[in-house]
């Protein structure tokens, strides 16, 4: 039995006993007895700051016991009791509530370790980075898929990083179209693995192959084929929506293809193999999606933009741009749709041939391979596969919606239906009209509209027939010239950005400083060349003649390739020579002036290479914030006549020519004598295989060069045609004058005051 105590007794005991803890102990005992004293009275004989401390502790006790009795506790009621200590009351309430949350569960450590045991492993599939096994989760008695990193890659740090990144991205992308990951582990022998849901089913590629094989059989009905065709398109829509989610999280897959899409037995459509995925900046519609950006803790993909399956990669992947966007995945989705439509990929051949076709956009339209393909769905496919990223669908969701509209017999954004199809669609959507009068009126209306349309079309055709073929060709050439100029400008810009990215590398800065300090020390060049070789190897898909590194004094201190005879290890003669007189080094459009390193990226005029042949060079300075002037120059050379990688896809019969209208002054190799000079040099022509000596260099007529230079870029609309006196520099004497249009190559992504904004290069598109 508890004895009742007065408030004064408690206070006196506390004062005699000493610390605040004593008062709290007595107060808690009184609370247990159900006869607690008033806190207000306990505080009377205490001074600050001890009074506030005591109040805080007593409130914790009172709140705990009042809560156990089911009383409703509100902060502002207690604040009214202690108006001079409102903040103390608020803090006490927060502390009490925090304690309640902690007490709600058991006493659990911050970090838990959960072991899993997988047995009955059976090889299911394998790829370049890992192998997938079917296994049994022995703790939960369920079937799972376990992906192991390949044994030969287990000790490779870059491969391990990629494997971890794949597991992390796959697990953090929470979407029905992405397989759930259960955990990441290590075998104890250094072999990484991660467990995930096992999908019973087949790949989209298998389903496409069976569909088109079935089309060759007479056993399948038209209805069955139509159903399976629609199912494939519906699966494709699901893939698009999955990728739209990933893009909105800032993730690009980089290897979208039918083989990387699993179709479950119960309607699941799962995008797999995120091993090449990379984080990209979210801009525009992707930033406005409402999704949070997924920033991988494992870092970004260590691979460059060349990663992917060649037959499905976008032109920007094939050319090696460092700035991939979701548009690259949209292109791969377009190729996937192409295979659904015709059963084959649009590009075939050797790796070099295939990449060249991808860059040029050389492939057959789906309807030329399968006459049953609708013009509308073909237009969707072709829009997704546009060579220029900005011409594709802005998002994968827009691509999905167009395919859904096609399946729903609704208009699609990529295709303008003819009037007959619009009327037919309208009729299909109004089959429920039952009143005969309305049907009759409808038929009369349709007949009237059709008749009007027919007569209108006849009139239009008559007008079109009156237009000369000459005018139509002029318009086609004009459009082609502007398109070609934009495309080539983008490809030049890509090469410059690759060089600029390499020039910013801190490791290169350190290595080049050592070379500049000890220019005669060949040992200091060895690690520099090794670094250069490793960087160049990442861009083997870029067609070129040679890459070079120059010290601040103009000496060539690195070259890729380094040896003119790999077996005998004979280096090129240009190494160690000084090139501070070259245009690509000082940027003065002449090979007779020496000067310090250029401070801007530059496109050189033509020159004769020390190692033979005529070249033009893209170059950029190697600059560090620690030095006032450039440490050196990094460059990429291309031989005249070898600009195939800069070519573009054009209508049949049209030829693309590339001309440098800038005046050049050429220094002959191994001589201080002046060589040829001039302007209007032909850099590329389909009939120009190579140019070995300056005497062989073809030029445009001076009057044509002046005509092109005098035409302001802003005025190049539909009238960008060359005059009638234009002649093909490589044409036979008796060959007639071609019809030709031109356009300047301007790097619009660069500042207008930069050295490379106006290259001085022009594209000419001609047709006999």
Q: Provide the annotated active-site residues.
A: 255
- Rounded CA separation 519/525 (Å): 9
- Rounded CA separation 25/701 (Å): 106
Q: Would you say 531 and 503 are in contact if contact means Cβ atoms under 8 Å apart?
A: no
- Rounded CA separation 681/695 (Å): 12
- Measuring CA to CA, which residue among 257, 256, 302 is closest to residue 278? 302
Peptide bond into 561 cis (omega under 30): yes
DSSP H helices in 105-221: 157-172, 204-215
φ/ψ (deg, to 5) at 333: -65, -40
Q: Would you say 181 and 196 are in contact if contact means Cβ atoms under 8 Å apart?
A: yes
CA dihedral 50, 51, 57, 62 (to 10 degrees): 160
Burial 613-641 (b: 16+ CB within 10 A, else e): bbbbbbbbbbbbeeeeebbbbbbbbbbbb
Q: How far is CA 57 from CA 87, 370, 442, in A?
A: 14, 82, 85
- Rounded CA separation 438/382 (Å): 40
Structure tokens at 93: 């309430």
Handedness of CA 749, 540, 601, 655 (dihedral sign): negative
Q: How far is CA 57 from the centre of its chain?
A: 58
Q: Would you say 632 and 516 are in contact if contact means Cβ atoms under 8 Å apart?
A: yes
Q: How far is CA 21 from CA 14, 27, 56, 241, in A?
A: 8, 10, 12, 62
Q: Would you say 594 and 580 are in contact if contact means Cβ atoms under 8 Å apart?
A: yes
């Amino acid at each position: 039995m508890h004895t009742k105590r007065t408030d004064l007794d408690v206070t006196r005991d506390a004062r005699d006993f000493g610390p605040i803890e004593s008062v709290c102990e007595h107060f808690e005992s009184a609370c247990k007895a159900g006869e607690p004293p008033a806190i207000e009275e306990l505080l009377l004989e205490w001074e600050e700051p001890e009074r506030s401390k005591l109040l805080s502790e007593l409130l914790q006790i009172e709140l705990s016991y009042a809560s156990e009795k089911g009383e409703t506790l509100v902060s502002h009621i207690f604040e009214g009791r202690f108006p001079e200590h409102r903040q103390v009351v608020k803090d006490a309430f927060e502390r009490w509530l925090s304690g309640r949350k902690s007490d709600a569960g058991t006493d659990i450590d911050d970090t838990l370790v959960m072991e899993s045991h997988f047995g009955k492993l059976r090889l299911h599939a394998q790829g370049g980075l890992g192998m997938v096994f079917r296994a049994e989760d022995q703790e939960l008695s369920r079937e799972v898929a376990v992906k192991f990193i390949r044994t030969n890659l287990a000790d490779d740090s870059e491969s391990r990083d990629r494997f971890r990144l794949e597991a992390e991205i796959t697990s953090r992308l929470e979407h029905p179209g992405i397989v759930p990951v259960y955990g990441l582990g290590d075998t104890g022998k250094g072999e990484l693995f991660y467990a995930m849901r096992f999908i019973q089913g087949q790949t989209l590629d298998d389903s496409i192959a069976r569909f088109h094989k079935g089309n060759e059989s007479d056993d399948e009905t038209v209805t069955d084929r139509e159903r399976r065709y629609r199912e494939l398109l519906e699966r494709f829509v699901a893939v698009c929506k999955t990728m739209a989610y990933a893009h909105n999280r800032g993730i690009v897959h980089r290897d979208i293809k039918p083989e990387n899409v699993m179709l479950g037995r119960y309607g699941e459509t799962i995008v797999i193999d995120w091993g090449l995925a990379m984080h990209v900046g979210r801009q525009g519609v992707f930033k406005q999606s409402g999704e949070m950006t997924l920033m991988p803790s494992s870092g970004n993909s260590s691979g460059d933009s060349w990663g992917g399956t060649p037959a499905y990669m976008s032109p920007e992947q094939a050319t090696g741009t460092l700035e991939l966007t979701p548009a690259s995945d949209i292109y791969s989705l377009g190729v996937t749709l192409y295979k659904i439509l015709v059963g084959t990929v649009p590009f075939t051949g050797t790796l070099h041939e295939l990449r060249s076709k991808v860059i040029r956009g050389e492939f057959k339209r789906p309807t030329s391979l399968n006459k049953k393909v609708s013009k509308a769905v073909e237009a969707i496919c072709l829009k997704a596969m546009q060579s220029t990223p900005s011409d594709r669908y802005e998002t994968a969701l827009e691509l999905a919606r167009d395919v859904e509209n096609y399946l729903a017999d609704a208009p699609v954004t990529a295709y303008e239906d003819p009037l007959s199809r619009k009327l037919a669609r309208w009729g299909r959507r109004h089959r429920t009209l039952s009143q005969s009068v309305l049907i009759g009126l409808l038929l009369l209306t349709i007949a009237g509209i059709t008749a009007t349309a027919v007569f209108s079309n006849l009139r239009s055709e008559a007008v079109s027939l009156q237009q000369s073929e000459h005018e139509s060709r002029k318009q086609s050439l004009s459009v082609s010239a502007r398109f070609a100029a934009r495309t080539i400008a983008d490809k030049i810009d890509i090469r410059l950005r690759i060089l600029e990215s390499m020039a910013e590398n801190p490791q290169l800065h350190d290595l080049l400083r050592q070379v500049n300090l000890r220019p005669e020390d060949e040992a200091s060049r060895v690690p520099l060349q090794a670094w250069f070789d490793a960087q160049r190897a990442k861009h083997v898909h870029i067609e070129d003649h040679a890459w070079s590194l120059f010290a601040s004094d103009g000496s060539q201190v690195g070259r890729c390739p380094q040896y003119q005879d790999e077996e005998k290890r004979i280096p090129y003669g240009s190494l160690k020579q000084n090139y501070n007189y070259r245009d690509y080094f000082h940027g003065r459009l002449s090979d007779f002036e020496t000067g310090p390193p250029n401070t801007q990226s530059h496109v050189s005029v033509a020159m004769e290479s020390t190692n033979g042949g005529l070249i033009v060079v893209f170059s950029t300075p190697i600059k560090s914030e620690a030095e006032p002037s450039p440490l050196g120059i990094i460059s990429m050379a291309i031989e005249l006549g070898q600009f195939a990688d800069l070519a573009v896809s054009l209508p049949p019969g049209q030829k693309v020519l590339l001309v440098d209208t800038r005046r050049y002054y050429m220094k002959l190799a191994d001589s201080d004598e002046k060589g040829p000079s001039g302007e209007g040099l032909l850099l590329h022509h389909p009939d120009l295989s190579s140019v070995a000596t300056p005497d062989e260099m073809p030029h445009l007529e001076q009057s044509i060069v002046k005509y092109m230079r005098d035409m302001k870029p802003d005025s190049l609309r539909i009238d960008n045609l060359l005059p009638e006196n234009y002649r093909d520099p490589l044409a036979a004497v008796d060959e007639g004058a071609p019809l030709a249009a031109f356009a300047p190559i301007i790097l619009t992504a660069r500042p207008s005051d930069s050295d490379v904004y106006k290259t001085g290069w022009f594209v000419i598109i001609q047709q006999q």
